[in-house]
Chains A and B, each alone.
Chain A
């Protein structure tokens, strides 16, 4: 296999005005080193062979492209296909990127990796890759997320990773990312930072995108086999930082406009964008800088970062990757808000129609898929990136549904 090459970012790591490298000077040499190491790895057949072998024999790729007939019937319109990233080893798309970065860490002679995690999917995938390749692994996780995702915390510890609780700020993904960056600043000479989404300073957004692009590349030939054409009418994926979405979007995003499918990212609207309790950075944010990159961001008039709110720990992030910001500004992709309640109901819908329990993150995309399939109508094809499985969310969903039922009883 080859990793794809895209026209963006530019040499300075920019997607239009977005992106860049807003980090302490201590890290600049490390980012230069990473950029060079990644470029060399990307051109090295031995590295690519090692990576593709792991994807095939360890992750279980290609992931299935499944025709969701019952969901299609329920929606009553376009055919809905699910790209089953939930079937990957460790249960989400995150492993694609973690293995790529962990291999790079080994190639660069690093013995220790750090990672941040929200829902724990990236933490579990990092711990897994570290265990496989014999690297020491420290995962930073917000105290609030540790509560919501106890199962994944335990999985990481079983895999030999150290999970460090972050209590500063909002005690969620944003603060876990701050702590991971601080650790990296401190231990930069021997430590590799495995970043979990298409955010952060250049070259991270580009590198993570490249490793995740396997999702969209597979979709092309799978759809060709199933439908006789490589490009669907619409592709839908949930967006927090945006790594699963960019993985399925990017191979289509640079097609000429008349050949491009509708690309729809679903942002976590929490209790509604107007409520102020949401994580919808495009719909409810404005341009700013966080974690090394210029992007759409939830922040106040004086630049203080605002807390994001979502039912899903993985989408609970106040920013969105710079390439998505560029897509949004150029009309390449649309970013639509989906609320907590809509996601919760979509989760149950997919479970009951297809016997598939999606992650709360992916449920945001399922909600929009039903709407888009109806809009497009019969004869059209929609692909949804089912980025992860729902096991990790079961306890939290149970708690939330009990709350909903209790409220209904009272009413």
Chain B
């Protein structure tokens, strides 16, 4: 699965976005936002604002029981669901963004919403809405081979996660299953902006992934500002930096989202 894919496939579009960022001496900036949060209308504005700075955007399809997420994103999902953001509404919102941006868009959700709609139908809807890839944090790559086959058929990139607890064997299995990019979880734990610099295991994890794959390696969980982005981009040599809870918090608090995104983007710049 390694090697460069043609940019015409969705996995290839993702890789091209990483390559473009690398050509500019940066790690790719991958902001996350929960679809329909805090309202469907506001989400559209927020997402467009983030897309101005993003290389790739990750959109959370809200789920009632997100056990890989911390309180911030869990709460955002609850608010979005209460506000009527269903699976179909999420695809409409993505279609709305697609009309304004041709940057790669990736959906993050859990397996149950995918199974409930049916994996084949879910992927058809995703492709139709202009989605490039999927991240399902509760689906290890060896658990359901049908999903991998269907994603390949649909041309959707599938990103799986490696964690600091991953053994060599697990890193090999996971990276071999990824298309588009590999997602390295920086800490043992759930998503969320953390106090202090708890990203000590990231360099080793990124280095380990590189032994097994040529795909870009993006790092997420606990990245919240310019300094933590720099630790990941320059300190650990990641190809991408995913920021979620800090952005969701900024929206919740009415903070200057553009300023935060610009700061994080600065942190993504690789130090010479």
Contact = CB atoms under 8 A, between A and B. Distances in A.
A356 B2 CA distance: 66
B258 interface: no
Nearest to A301: B116
Interface residues of A, number: 38
Given A25-B166, A186-B188, A305 B112 contact: yes
A290 B160 CA distance: 19
Contacts of B138: 22-24, 289, 292
Interface string B133-170: 00001111001100000000000000011111111001
A187 B185 contact: no
Contacts of A305: 64-65, 112
Interface in A7-25: 20-25
A297 B116 CA distance: 11
Contact of B87 (A24, A30, A302): A302
B161 A24 contact: yes
| Chain A CB within 10 A, most for which of B70, B161, B162, B165 | B165
A403 interface: no
B6 to A, nearest CB: 28
Nearest to A306: B64
A105 B113 CA distance: 34
B189 interface: yes
B143 A21 contact: yes
B111 interface: yes
B67 interface: yes
B67 A289 contact: no
B124 to A, nearest CB: 15
Contacts of A24: 67-68, 137-138, 161, 163, 185
A172 to B, nearest CB: 12
A302 B75 CA distance: 19
Contacts of B167: 29, 32
Interface string A267-300: 0000000000000000000011111100001011
Interface in B93-136: 110-117
Nearest to A180: B67
Which range holds the interface residue count of chain B? 35 or more
B158 to A, nearest CB: 13
Contacts of A20: 143-144
B71 A168 contact: yes
A34 B116 CA distance: 30
B67 A299 contact: no
B160 A25 contact: yes
Contacts of A30: 165
Interface string A169-206: 10000110010011001111100000000000000000
A304 interface: yes
A177 to B, nearest CB: 9
Given A288-B112, A289-B115, A305-B112, A25 B185 contact: yes
B63 A189 contact: no
Given A300-B116, A302-B88, A303-B114, 7 more contacts: A25-B170, A28-B165, A28-B170, A32-B167, A175-B65, A185-B188, A303-B112
14 contacts: A23-B140, A25-B137, A25-B174, A26-B185, A28-B166, A29-B167, A169-B65, A169-B78, A182-B189, A186-B188, A288-B115, A297-B112, A303-B63, A303-B116
